Structure 1
Amino acid sequence: MIILGLDPSLTCTGWGVIRLEGSRLSHIANGQISTSTKAPMADRLARLHAGIAEVIAQQRPDRAACEEVFVNDNPQSTLKLAQSRGAVLAACGAAGLRVNEHAARLVKKAVVGTGGADKMQVAAMVKVLLPGVTIAGSDAADALAAAIADAHLAPRAGCKVE
C-alpha cells in the first residue's frame, strides 16, 4: 500500500509518500511545492494542482491522507488554506485517488503521542519512524506525518483501506 500524505498551504504545500507493508512503514519520497506571493491567485492554485498531479502520476499512490480543515483566527488565512486544499484535493479527485482526512490533533497524537506537538517535534518523530529519511522541509514533514497517521488510523476510523 502506497500512501500520499498532503499538507496543503498556498505558500508551500508539503507532500510525502510512504509504503505500508503489514505494520512496516518505509519512506518513498517527499517534497514541497512553493508558490510566489506575487503571482495571481489563479496561477498559484494552478501550480499546486499541477504539482500534486505530477506527484500522483510519478508515485502512483493507492490513497492519500490530509489533515481536516481548521479555522484560523484570521479569516483571510482560513480562506487561503481552503483554496489551496481545494486545488490539492481536486488533483487527487481528478486522478481517482481517495483521500482520508484526519483532525490535525489526531495526526500529531498518532505520530508524536500528543495532539499539541509543534512542527519540530513532528519532524523529529518522522525521522525516527522513517530511519534515514531526508526531509525537504517542515511542510514535507507534516505531509509524511499525515501519511504515517493514516497508515495507523484509517482502519480504526472506518476509512476504506483497499
Structure 2
Amino acid sequence: MVILGIDPGVVSTGYGVLKIKGRQIEMIDYGTIKVDSKGEFPSRLAGVYKRLEEICACYQPDAMALEDVFFNRNTRTALAVGHMRGVIMLAAVHSGLEVYTYTPLQIKQAITGYGRAGKEQVRRMLKIILKLPELPRPDHAADALAAALCHHYLQQYQDRVTLGEGR
C-alpha cells in the first residue's frame, strides 16, 4: 500500500509518501509544494492541483491522509486553507484516491502516544520509525509524513478490530 500524506498550506503544502509492505514502512518521498505568495490565489490553487496530479501519477498512492487544519483567529487564512483543502481533495478524487482526514491531535497521538506532543517530538519519532538519516524538515513536509503514518496505524488498528469482529 502507498499512502500520500498532505499538510495543506496557502503558500507551502507538505506532502509525504510512504510505502507499506507487510510490517515494513518505507519513506519514498517528502517535501513541499510551493507556490508564489504574490501570485493570484486561483493560480496558486491551480499550481498545487497540478503538482499533486504529478505526485499521484508518479507514486500511484492507494489513499490520501489529509491533516485537518483548525484556525480560531484569522478567518481569511482559514477560508484560504479551506479552498486549498478543496483543491487537494479534488486532485485526490480525480486520481482515484480515498481521502481520510485526521486532526492534529489524532496524528500526534498516533505518532508519539501523546496528543499534545510538540512538533520536535513528532519529528524525532518520525526519524526513528521511518529510519531517516535526519529529522524531516520543513514543518509542512514532516506533518504530511506524520499524517500518512497516522493513517497507516489507524487503518491497521481498524483492520484488527474488523478481523476480531469476524471471529
Q: TM-score, normalised by structure 2?
A: 0.87
CA RMSD for the aligned pairs?
1.6
2:79 is equivalent to residue 79 of structure 1: yes
Q: TM-score, normalised by structure 1?
A: 0.90
Aligned to 1:61: 61
Runs of 4+ aligned structure 1 residues displaced above 6 Å come to none
Specify the code of the residue in structure 2 equivalent to 1:54.
E
Aligned ranges for residues 6-155 of structure 1 at < 5 Å? 6-132=6-132, 135-155=136-156
Question: How far 1:71 sits from its partner (Å)?
Answer: 3.2
Question: How far 1:72 sits from its partner (Å)?
Answer: 2.9
**Quick check: 1:19–1:26 contact (8 Å CA) kept in 2?**
yes
Q: 1:155 to 1:129 in 2, by over 3 A?
A: closer
Distance (Å, rounded) in 2 between the aligned partners of 1:66 and 1:95: 15
2:81 aligned counterpart, secondary structure:
helix
Question: How far 1:113 sits from its partner (Å)?
Answer: 1.7
- Identity, in percent, stands at 35
Aligned residue pairs, count: 158
Q: 1:79 to 1:157 in 2, by over 3 A?
A: farther
**Quick check: 1:32–1:136 contact (8 Å CA) kept in 2?**
no
Structure exhibiting the larger radius of gyration computed from Cα positions: 2
**Quick check: 1:16–1:144 contact (8 Å CA) kept in 2?**
yes
Distance (Å, rounded) in 1 between the aligned partners of 2:73 and 2:158: 29
Q: Deviations for 1:35-67, whole angstroms, at most 9, x for unmatched residues?
A: 122100000100111111110011111111112
